[in-house]
């Protein structure tokens, strides 16, 4: 049976490799090298810490038989700069990197930064379960607007979001990709 719950700091090592599947190229860009273990370590460190954009505080997990099989990371769009500051500071200190990162979200939306499912659990509808959970919680209960970006070259993900009820509201160019900004309200 699938259970949905808030993430805990102790979940960081289980969440990090799953989260990496949703943003592998971005994390490699951040750390300046294509090293999967360093990327997972970078993410696990931040997931375990409070007050940053990848913190457990902003993650909801799907669990089956006490194993984390999916995650969704989301936060208020107007908090992006504040939540990103610890990430940029860590990259500067530990990797001597100062990546040029654009704004992927905006005030007025709860931004879905990452949604990912473990390879072993793909095809079971876990991503959809997580999306429906956050739609119910943020939109139906609290009247918030959810926002996310989807790669134009990922028609399967785009179709999922559109079928659930997300609407295109614009386009964004980040990390050399053309992305569609979708919202659900």
> For 62-106, how does the pLDDT look when each residue is reduced to its tens digit (9 = 90+)?
999 999 999 999 999 999 999 999 999 999 999 999 988 888 999
Q: What are phi and psi of 154, to 5 degrees?
A: -125, 70
Looking at residue 103, what is its pLDDT? 86
Average confidence (pLDDT) over 54-65 = 98
Contacts of 150 (CB under 8 A, 6+ apart): 157, 158, 161, 179, 180, 182
Cβ-based burial of 81 (10 A; exposed 0-12, middle 13-18, buried ≥19): exposed
Query: Model confidence over 111-139: pLDDT tens digits?
Result: 999 999 999 999 999 999 999 999 999 99
**What global pTM score does this model have?**
0.96
Looking at residue 175, what is its pLDDT? 78
pLDDT reading at 48 higher than 90? yes
Q: What is the mean pLDDT of the chain?
A: 95
């Amino acid at each position: 049976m699938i259970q949905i719950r808030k993430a805990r700091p102790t979940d960081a090592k289980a969440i990090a490799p799953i989260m990496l599947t949703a943003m592998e190229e971005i994390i490699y860009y951040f750390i300046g090298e294509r090293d999967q273990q360093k990327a997972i370590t970078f993410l696990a460190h931040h997931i375990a810490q409070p007050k940053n954009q990848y913190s457990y505080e902003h993650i909801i997990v799907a669990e089956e038989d006490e194993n984390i099989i999916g995650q969704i990371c989301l936060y208020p769009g107007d908090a992006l700069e504040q939540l990103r500051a610890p990430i940029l500071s860590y990259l500067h200190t530990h990797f001597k990197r100062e990546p040029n990162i654009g704004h992927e979200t905006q005030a007025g939306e709860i931004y879905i930064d990452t949604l990912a499912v473990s390879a072993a659990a793909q095809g079971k509808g876990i991503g959809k379960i997580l999306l429906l959970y956050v739609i119910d919680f943020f939109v139906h209960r609290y009247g918030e607007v959810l926002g996310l970006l989807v790669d134009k070259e990922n028609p399967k993900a785009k179709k999922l979001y559109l079928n659930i009820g997300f609407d295109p509201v614009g386009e964004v160019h980040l990390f050399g990709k053309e992305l569609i900004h979708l919202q659900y309200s």
